[in-house]
Amino acid sequence: MKRIFAVLLVWSLLPSCVPALSQNLSSSARRNPYFTDLLNGMSFVRPESQVEGDPYLERHWNQSIITVYESKEPAAGYYTRYNLYTNTLEILMERGPVGLDVTRVNFLETKDSLSGVKKQFTNAREYTIDGIPMIGLVEVLVDGQVSLLRRTGLVITPPNYNAALNAGSRNTRITKTSELLYAFGADARKVKSRKKFFASFGKDSAWLEKYASDNKLSHDSERHLIALLTHYNETFGKQ
């Protein structure tokens, strides 16, 4: 398996595993020109634009078990981190990091190198929203008849600095977004209103909503949803 996995890494080797987002900024955003101070006529140098934030699901490297579509046998003992911007799984090798295209990754299990918490991920293309396949990796919070997933994305805000007003930000900002999805098989859905959420369970909606009310479980709390869907999967078909 190690040999097969090594070949896959060579196929997907990136020129640079960690792309510099600043390279994707416009030249005007990166340059360091001189401006004239409108108040006293003295020139000054505008600081270079920087990138605030990072594109990683978790910036540190985590011990991982990787299963690729080309081979169902897991490959263990690697340290990885997921680059949301390039949609690559960066893998730490002896000669440095290389990137594996996430489209090749079937499953991923990580153990956080800081907290020791284990997480499981699956390829988002296994699910659809409104009939459209997703991309990337999604974290599996609950697995079963109905799965609970966490999808993380990026919002990249370009510089909005106004030289005339000396206002705004010169930097590109990267922020992460997170949303919960629940899936009936491959059919993933966004968690919306309480009414729509419970109605989607069809004939099971009444008893499931009663269970949530009796146990004070909210449909918009991750912790509560984990408890609710875990109970649903454990009692599925027994009601």
* Whether residue 8 has pLDDT greater than 80: no
DSSP string, 183-196: EETTEEEE---HHH
pLDDT in tens, 132-160: 999 999 999 999 999 999 999 999 999 98
Same domain, residue pair 162 and 81: yes
CA distance 135 to 132: 10
| Residue 16 banded pLDDT, cuts 50, 70, 90 | very low
How many domains does the chain contain in total?
2
Domain around 64: 2-190
Give the mean pLDDT of the chain: 86
Q: Are residues 124 and 234 in the same domain?
A: no
Across 189-211, average pLDDT: 96
Tell whether 152 and 229 lie within a shared domain. Answer: no
Task: Indicate if 80 and 116 belong to the same structural domain.
Answer: yes
If asked whether residues 34 and 135 sit together in one domain, one would say yes
For Cα atoms 194, 197, 200, give the angle at the middle one, nearest 5 degrees.
Answer: 145
Same domain, yes or no: 34 and 74: yes
Q: Are residues 166 and 153 in the same domain?
A: yes
pLDDT of residue 7: 45
Residue 162 — very low, low, confident or very high, per pLDDT cuts 50/70/90?
confident
pLDDT of 163 reads: 81
CA 182 from chain center: how many Å? 16
Q: Are residues 112 and 28 in the same domain?
A: yes
Q: Residue 19 above 60 pLDDT?
A: no
Do 28 and 129 belong together in one domain? yes
The structure's pTM equals 0.81
Examine the domain organization and report whether 101 and 156 are in the same domain.
yes
Residue 21 confidence (pLDDT): 52
What does the pLDDT read at residue 164? 84
